[in-house]
Structure 1
């Protein structure tokens, strides 16, 4: 197994299993990934410098997000939570009414399944070490592949892709400005709510392999003209905590953020350049016990 060095200040997935379950329960039995992440950061009082540490093998996932993805995968494999195509995680009916979970049992179950899969004579601790060939459900190989495709796209091609995605999301009159320059506007359009209310929106697209900070958000906001009521910042990377805070500062023009994970989710949802292939999870224990 290939071991990856992880900052010791970041909570590991095994320690996040119970907290993730309690947070989903606390949020009414269902929550988006961002809601789960934000609540765990609040509960564990994690400072920004820890939250913003990037996962070493990914340009648009933080290490905390990666560990939380594993925690959700453990819970899902134990049929405690389930997720919808829109990225909403919810408690299964069996665990929706105040039932407690056995975290040690969940981990033990994972250890046994991995031992069967690898057929290696290794200790439990070694089994729990990350294998470079294994990834949590939310970080599947196709997602890594599409990230690289997006990062290596022609800049104007990425802007046109963002234009297409915004149209699918309900925007109209979406125009790419075809002007370059950091901090500037890459395009604009209108967003209509319930066929009545409409907003003038400007957007910026950045193919980042890393973290977008608060200076980029401030620069973008500074480029917005008075007739623009809202801004949308799209990136293939992630947004730092300070960038998120800056985007939603009271009294200032609000900026909506679409990070790499959300961008990929939307591409999959609207099947833009992606086609779903049905797959099956094999329950080896079933075939052994029947």
Structure 2
């Protein structure tokens, strides 16, 4: 029986998708193009156990909150905005439907996530299986689980309406192709080979459990001249994850109370997150540490005059700090076997 609608949470097998969407192969990114014009795109991601995913690919696609963080097409070498990557970007100008599915290994098929809205994309440096650096494109999609039912005949209208409403609701959100402010190692890594080593280190951080990541941040802070370091409760803390005070070795700023936020994220950290941290602060300044990267607008927000400063430490810089401080990583990293 041909499917005429998708219901969020329901499962669909390859035959269902073939009959309803007339696409031969389901998996990855599959655009439907008629006379050179994209009609829709089907994107399938995978839901794997963190340990399995980490062992196979620390950069694996990930759902974080309402965002699907998706790596562009192209397994070897630098990725370009061509082919299906170029087709994805076309949604900015023409809000055609992108159907999101997740492969959970179920015999029932792929579970429908909802319509996807491309929010932003950016270039990121990663390390490949041969330990060589390469540039990839990361796409951040907002998952829209409402409407619960998506009639295929109305999918284009629904997608356009959803995206219009979303843009209106998130006017201060960075959209389109954004530039990331990527740190360059300052101390022990000076050439491309060693930069590949530190990126390999950052890739490992992506596989750490988010709560263990907070403990790792605590460990690194204690090794860098702070005392009374503690991880806050997991709820009701206003976004603060770790608190600490500078010890007396800091002659010009002893006993200064500092609050930290730890984000073990794959997706980018933007202006909104920096502003929200500032609004939660009870300390003179805050520190935001992430395994990912900051947008340029996040950097600008952190340096706003006449406001509490926010120190930003991205995944590259944090990887270097952990190396310099000789933080033992074994108890934090997931097992690969």
Tell me the TM-score normalized by structure 1. 0.49
Higher strand proportion (structure 1 or 2): 2
Name the structure with the higher helix share.
Answer: 1
Relative to the length of structure 2, the TM-score reads 0.43
